[in-house]
Structure 1
């Protein structure tokens, strides 16, 4: 019997059979400016010739799955003929869900997986639990780890001990990739060019040019300098989707420091936005969100743990999620946690090679675990006992 592992993120779904490779696919639908009536689903995004003014229809809001119509269409597409050709009667599914998920959402998910799709068996689990499973598999001498999962909607910090999550240490920061992109859209619209409708393009800009500053004040001083002394400034050529299909950063030697451009060139000049936007992960209060940044929340979470376990958490900090891909992210987390942690404790921060697919890899390992059959709820079980059996079995 095959097992399908689906890390059902708020922006990307990471999906694949446990014996195959993972596919990373947008977990949403799109409407384009040019063909308003047609809706594109998941990886059909590639078919849109002009993604300017692209409108997103997301199944998730604030980190929770609320739009089942959209989610069903995405799943129909993923499980259907052109993607994974799922034979439901002969397939188990491992699927992720958010921490502290609402029971009404859990019940709807059970119903859809067992009654509509009729999977043979299912396991609902948090993405962080899969990440910890992968980490303990690779570092089997370790007893504890703390997972920082910084994704699209929010950032979660969750301590694990011997594979069990410690609920009293879970922290949620309501800053994720979506907020960063929206903030960058606002800054650019205010300073240079109206881009409030260009989520797709500005998300690309964010991924291409933003980085995490190691010394915010020093970078801020450099960003105010004129001409070539301003080493922070970058020029970003926006796509026009006819001759330029994808935006790109100009090489430093080709940059124009006079500020005068040829007509027709659509160029963004980015200075302090490059590091001020990711800074919100470390100081949410910069934009009025009264919450701790990631390093403080990490230390706070570890301080809620029994004292004898604390040194083990400090030396096993695991970073996952898309926001960890900002250059300088890992170094900044290490630097700030090191400054806040007791001197005698060793601090180690691990950034996996592929932090986006790390939980999926954990799900793949879990599916090969000899105890896997004990963890799942079978369709028979569900038909006999209903939601109650899922509540009992899944620790989410």
Structure 2
């Protein structure tokens, strides 16, 4: 029987059969300014000639799956002929859901998977649990790990001991990639150019030029300098979707500091925005969100756990999710944790090679474990016992 692993994130779906490679596909629908009437789903984004003013229709709001119509259309597209050609009667699915998901959402998901699509069996699980499984698989001698999952809607910190999550230690910070992109849109719109409708383009800008500062105040001083002295300044060429399909950063030696560029390119000049936006992951209070940053939340999580286990968690902190890809993120987090943690305990923060697909890879490994058949709910079980069998089996 084939096993399909779907890490159903709020921004991208990571999907693939357990014997194949992963595909990363936008988990949403789009409408563009140029063709208002047509709706594009998932990877049909590539068909849009002019993605300026792209309007996103997301199935997730604040990290929870609320728009089932959009989600169904995305899944129909993923499971359909163009993509994975799923034979539902012979396929088992591993699908992720957020921590502390609402029971109504869980019931709807059970119904759709078993009654509409009629999968042979299903396993609903947190993405962090798959990441922990992956970590323990690569380091079988370790007993504990702390998964830091910084995604589109939230950042979750979740401790695991022997693949069991410790619910008392789970922390959530309401800062994710969506908030960072929106904040960057506001800053650029206020200072330079109205880009509030350009989510797609500014998200690309964020991924291309933002980084996590190691010394925030020192970088702030550099960012205030004029012309060539400002070594942090970058000029970003915005796409016009005719000759320039994708925005890019101008090489430093081609930057013009006094006067204008000869070419008709539209330029964004970025200085302190480059590091002030990702700084919100460490200091949400900078923009009025009264919450702890990631380092404090990690320490708070570890301190809520039994004392004899704490050293193990400090030594096995695993980063997953798109925000951990900012250059300097791991180094800054490790430095801040070092200053907060007890002096005698070693601190180690691990950034996997591909933090975005790390939990998907964990699902792939899980599908090949001997216990897998014990963990799933089959369609027969579901038809006989209803939702209660899922609640008993899935430790969410």
TM-score calculated relative to the size of structure 2:
0.99
Residue 218 of structure 2 corresponds to which residue in structure 1? Answer: 218
* 1-structure distance, mates of 2:318, 2:265: 42
Residue 15 of structure 1 corresponds to which residue in structure 2? Answer: 15
Residue 65 of structure 2 corresponds to which residue in structure 1? Answer: 65
Q: Secondary structure at the match of 1:335?
A: helix
* 2-structure distance, mates of 1:160, 1:192: 45
Structure 1 residue ranges (4+ consecutive) displaced by more than 6 angstroms after TM superposition: none
Structure 1 residues 113-164: Cα deviation after superposition (integer angstroms, max 9, x where no partner): 0000000000000000000000000000000000000000010000000100
Residue 333 of structure 1 corresponds to which residue in structure 2? Answer: 333
Structure 1 residues 345-380: Cα deviation after superposition (integer angstroms, max 9, x where no partner): 111000000000000000000000001000000000
* 2-structure distance, mates of 1:256, 1:356: 36
CA RMSD of aligned residues (A): 0.6
* 2-structure distance, mates of 1:211, 1:259: 27
Residue 26 of structure 1 corresponds to which residue in structure 2? Answer: 26
Q: Secondary structure at the match of 1:269?
A: strand
Residue 101 of structure 2 corresponds to which residue in structure 1? Answer: 101
Q: Secondary structure at the match of 2:364?
A: helix
Residue 144 of structure 2 corresponds to which residue in structure 1? Answer: 144
Deviation, structure 1 residue 265? 2.2
Residue 360 of structure 2 corresponds to which residue in structure 1? Answer: 360
Structure 1 residues 297-341: Cα deviation after superposition (integer angstroms, max 9, x where no partner): 000000000000000000000000000000000000100001100
Q: Secondary structure at the match of 2:124?
A: strand
Residue 122 of structure 2 corresponds to which residue in structure 1? Answer: 122
Deviation, structure 1 residue 263? 6.8
TM-score calculated relative to the size of structure 1:
0.99
Residue 158 of structure 1 corresponds to which residue in structure 2? Answer: 158
Instruction: List gaps (5 residues or longer) in structure 1.
Output: none
Structure 1 residues 76-125: Cα deviation after superposition (integer angstroms, max 9, x where no partner): 00000010000000000000000000000000000000000000000000
* 2-structure distance, mates of 1:353, 1:191: 36
Residue 248 of structure 1 corresponds to which residue in structure 2? Answer: 248
* 2-structure distance, mates of 1:259, 1:139: 56
Q: Secondary structure at the match of 1:344?
A: coil
Residue 292 of structure 1 corresponds to which residue in structure 2? Answer: 292
Q: How does 1:1-396 map to 2 (within 5 A)?
A: 1-262=1-262, 264-396=264-396
* 1-structure distance, mates of 2:287, 2:364: 39
Q: Secondary structure at the match of 1:211?
A: coil
* 2-structure distance, mates of 1:258, 1:297: 44
Deviation, structure 1 residue 227? 1.1
* 1-structure distance, mates of 2:225, 2:235: 15
Deviation, structure 1 residue 259? 4.5
The number of residue pairs the alignment matches comes to: 396
Deviation, structure 1 residue 261? 3.5
Q: Secondary structure at the match of 2:160?
A: strand
* 1-structure distance, mates of 2:326, 2:222: 20
